[in-house]
Amino acid sequence: MGAAAASTETAAGRHLRAIGGVLWALLLGGAAVLGAMFAFRQGLLPGIEAMFQPGSGALSGIRRAGIFLAAMLGYWAYVRVHDKRDATELRLQPWALALGGIAGAALVVLPIAALFGLGAYELVQHRPATSGLLGAAAVIGIAATLEELLYRCLLLQVLERAWGTDVALAVQALVFALPHLANVQDGGSADAMAVLVSVTLLGLLWGGVFVLTRILWVSAAHHAAWNFSILLSGVPLSGIGDWRALAPLETRLAGPDWLTGGMFGPENSLLVIAVIAMAVVLVLRTAHRRGKLCSPAALRMR
């Protein structure tokens, strides 16, 4: 009995140490990324504004670029100091990035086109493109990349080293989905459940893309192209309707919410959810065949 109790205590101790290590790594990584962004926003940016006095448009561009670069630098420093390795996931591969963007756009454009064909979405009118569309594209691209940096590069890889790729993929996908519940406006429990399912699947999809490539820019391009394609279609994007006025297509929802996704947008459509689920199965099966789903022991041997 004494040996069994000691063995149980040892196992419990290992689990506690693993949890503590994960929390510590996430705290350091989050502090490095978010701290660098905060330092630029509150420290360097006011100095740039005071010294050069750029116009509002230029200042907005400097703010976005500076926050983006600060986040990348913070993550790079964290990996170099804490993980003691090169941040190879930040390497740029233009062809892989382009393919990620094309795949992300195609994956959502095809079911949206089907929804137009079924009459669930109706085209009201075409609108000329405006400069605001470029600003929206920049915001979407930066936001998608920062989410991929935090959820895939940081959260997924920290969890993966402790509990393996399978557990890491599931946990990071659920954590990614939870904040999106705040975008459910005036919806019921069915709407919230649909959001939780669809965005968790998207988290699995983008996590799987990252595991397959180990390149931030591929999953970021996939994510950004997905979001921007929804915006261009003139339908709500993740419950945000403000950008619909910038879309070259003015549309209206004409079908039932289970088909159109309601005011959360096509990500809540059962058709789109089915497409995402099939893509997740394909990506994860490919990752399994290529030996990308690893145990903690296998990862430590790399």
Confidence of residue 30 (pLDDT cuts 50, 70, 90): very high
Q: Picking from 148-152, 163-167, 187-191, 280-284, which range would have the lowest pLDDT averaged per residue?
A: 187-191
The residue extents of the domains of the chain are: 1-86, 94-300
Model pLDDT for residues 57-92, shown as the tens digit of each residue: 899 999 999 999 999 999 999 999 999 999 999 999
What integer pLDDT is reported at residue 138 of this predicted model? Answer: 94
- Buried-state track 34-72, b at ≥16 Cβ within 10 A, e below 16: ebbbeebeeeebeeeeeeeeeeeeeeeebbbebbbebbb
Q: Give yes or no for residue 171 having a pLDDT over 80.
A: yes
Q: Give yes or no for residue 267 having a pLDDT over 80.
A: yes
Say how many Å lie between the first and final Cα of the chain, rounded. Answer: 38
**Cα–Cα distance list, 49 to 52, 58, 75, 272 (Å):** 6, 10, 25, 44
Nearest 5°: CA angle at 138, between 157 and 129? 145
